[in-house]
Homo-oligomer: A and B are copies of this chain.
């Protein structure tokens, strides 16, 4: 693939394409037109063509996209075969849920360590995986070299833990703690997860009943 610039907003849409194509492939769909894909994904066909053209000629005019080929190619671009070594800090309800609920292998990650600062939690295990005390992070990181950390710690602890991990060469953070993490160093990647943004979209929708108005845009 030639070196080309891809905007971050296109990158952010790739996981969604990847999911849709996986579902289509699972249903046995071999080819799909941008028009049909747009209908199913709720996007415009021109947006889809524009996004996918960033990565070279996937579609053939009049033939649509090869579902499996496009799925594989987008997976390769995202790096789903990468096995990024990943640790999770904070084994409360949320940490346990994130540890068990996410298909790490499908996201190019491998969960290699669970940590908690509570001595009554450290020493236990989650589905056979031992939970270590956070005091052991330096030794663990030197030996196992995780690249990515998932933070499920309380808000007041998040930036301290994150800075410690940056010093231990962790380069990416999936942050579930309340309050955003931010690093001035652009080489440190952060995804601050805001679960409630989508709940607020529902709250908005319930207050602005679209049943009265089937138009795509929402009326105030």
Residues of A within 8 A of B (CB): 1, 3-8, 11-12, 14-16, 18-19, 23, 55, 77-80, 82, 84, 92-94, 96-98, 100-103, 106-109, 147-148, 171-174, 180, 186-187, 189, 191, 193-207, 209-211, 214-220
Contact B206 A199 (CB under 8 A): no
Residue numbers in B under 8 Å from A209 (CB-CB): 187
Q: With CB as the reference atom, state the residue of chain B lying closest to A42.
A: B8
A187 to B213, CA, bound (A): 10
A200 to B11, CA, bound (A): 9
Q: A5-B215, A84-B203 are in contact. List 18 more A-B contacts (CB 8 A).
A: A4-B219, A6-B219, A6-B220, A14-B200, A14-B204, A15-B196, A16-B194, A78-B204, A80-B203, A84-B206, A93-B97, A98-B195, A102-B195, A102-B199, A107-B200, A187-B209, A189-B206, A191-B198
CB A58 to nearest CB in B, in angstroms, measures: 14
Residue numbers in B under 8 Å from A191 (CB-CB): 198-199, 201-202
Chosen A-B contacts, 15 in total, with CB atoms closer than 8 Å, are: A1-B220, A4-B219, A4-B220, A5-B217, A84-B206, A102-B195, A106-B196, A147-B206, A148-B202, A171-B206, A172-B202, A174-B202, A187-B210, A189-B210, A193-B198
Closest 5 pairs between A and B when the two form their complex, measured CB to CB: A187-B211, A79-B207, A93-B97, A15-B197, A108-B203
